[in-house]
Amino acid sequence: MTTDTLTSPASRFDGTREEAERYDRTDPLGFLRDRFVHAEPDLLYLDGNSLGRLPADTPEFVADVIRGGWGRGLIRSWNDWIDWNRQIGDRLAEHVLGARPGEVVLSDSTTVNLYKLAWAALDHAPGRRALVVDADDFPTNRYVAQGLARQRGLELRVVHSDMDRGLDLEGLRAALDDQVALVVLSHVAYRSGALADMAAVNALAREAGALVLWDLSHAAGAVPVRLTEDGADLAVGCTYKYLNGGPGSPAFLYVRRSLQRRLRQPIQGWFGQRDQFAMGPDFDPVETVDRFLTGTPPMLSAAALVPALALTEEAGVDRLRAKGRLLGELAVDLAARRLAPLGFRLASPEDPDRRGSHVTLWHRDAWRICRALADEGVVCDYREPDRLRIGPSPAYTRFTDVWDALERTRRLVESGRHTRLPRAKARIT
């Protein structure tokens, strides 16, 4: 493992708060901030990559679905709701994922979708006996892969990517051969924010005859995803981070159109059935991506995505990416100027083109610093080992928020107040 030293070479920033204020005044996405709820105006919220803020229009929209759709319409409202999985999926495809209509649906959780698509991909290649995962990938992805490998008697090949810099293409190439059925990877690494080269990975896998299943949870809504252009086969992701769909909002799945009829899934539910309301005796899946649906969708949770997705569409992912990159560069620059003398080091790729929208810093006391920052009005995140994860969301985070948060961090660590807290770690979700 390597960890980059924080340095501040020739920079576009001068390190002053006045400069951050100038960026805020000229921010083309500044209008979006007031479209979100800020119940604590002084709170510096830098954990949008764990849970996005509540869009201001969401409570009333969901309340109307509850009062009008459920309360007044009752079962009659299903005529309005029944196609939401596909309708919202098509919006995600067009505005967020770079896919085509009919290739994305809203369904279940990320973990369940990952299991469904991984199972389908392995079932599609019964002669291949290996599955490739990244040792540093998000735990649920590794756990699902481990379970499937054990269940099917497959070889689980583990690629050991750099914890801070991300996936090494040559290491992946070495793990691929004609025995590999599936590769499971994240587009943006959950710990470091390292951004994988999707097109290059897909090309390597295709040469070996393997499929790739991408987890887009830390990418969707923050960086441009081009599933069609980059030749992606399969993908899953959540909607409660940069897409601001709310706690536990439904996940999505993507299946390339040419694969849909060739893959079958393990959870054969009635929402994937042809002529659903005929209530036939045997499972006969539809030919479209809807075959990967399972049971009755959670309509109240799905409803929260409607106004949230409208904000992403209005902003445009390219503009969100441009601002998110600049916020990250500011965080790295300020950390180099103010936090490096206090024992912080960069635990993300140095090149902003190789990062998603969050930045990770290493410090031997990162756990206690993260907890103490909460008392200072700064919400960020901790990840093992010894990493402080800073996740500004370009939809509502100001440049002054980043400046103030890092300044509060400097003052906290200089004072030593964080050392009053115990070192024991509580459970973090």
Question: Which residues are known catalytic residues?
Answer: 138, 215, 240-241, 389
- What count of residues does the chain have? 429
Are the C-beta atoms of 418 and 412 separated by less than 8 Å? yes
Nearest to 116 by CA among 257, 263, 261: 263
Phi, psi dihedral angles at 167 (to 5 degrees): -70, 135
Exposed/middle/buried for 143, CB within 10 Å: 0-12, 13-18, 19+? middle
Distance CA 280, CA 274 (A): 9
Q: Is the dihedral of CA 290, 291, 297, 301 positive or negative?
A: negative
Are the C-beta atoms of 80 and 72 separated by less than 8 Å? no
Are the C-beta atoms of 2 and 164 separated by less than 8 Å? yes
Helices 317-334 and 299-315 pack at an angle, to 10 degrees, of 80
Are the C-beta atoms of 90 and 298 separated by less than 8 Å? no
Q: In the structure encoding, which two tokens stand for residue 27, read together?
A: 């921010």
Residue 210 C-alpha from the chain's centroid: 24
Residue 196 half-sphere exposure, CB side, CA atoms within 13 Å?
35
Distance CA 312, CA 53 (A): 13
Residue with tokens 């006996």: 129
Distance CA 196, CA 203 (A): 13
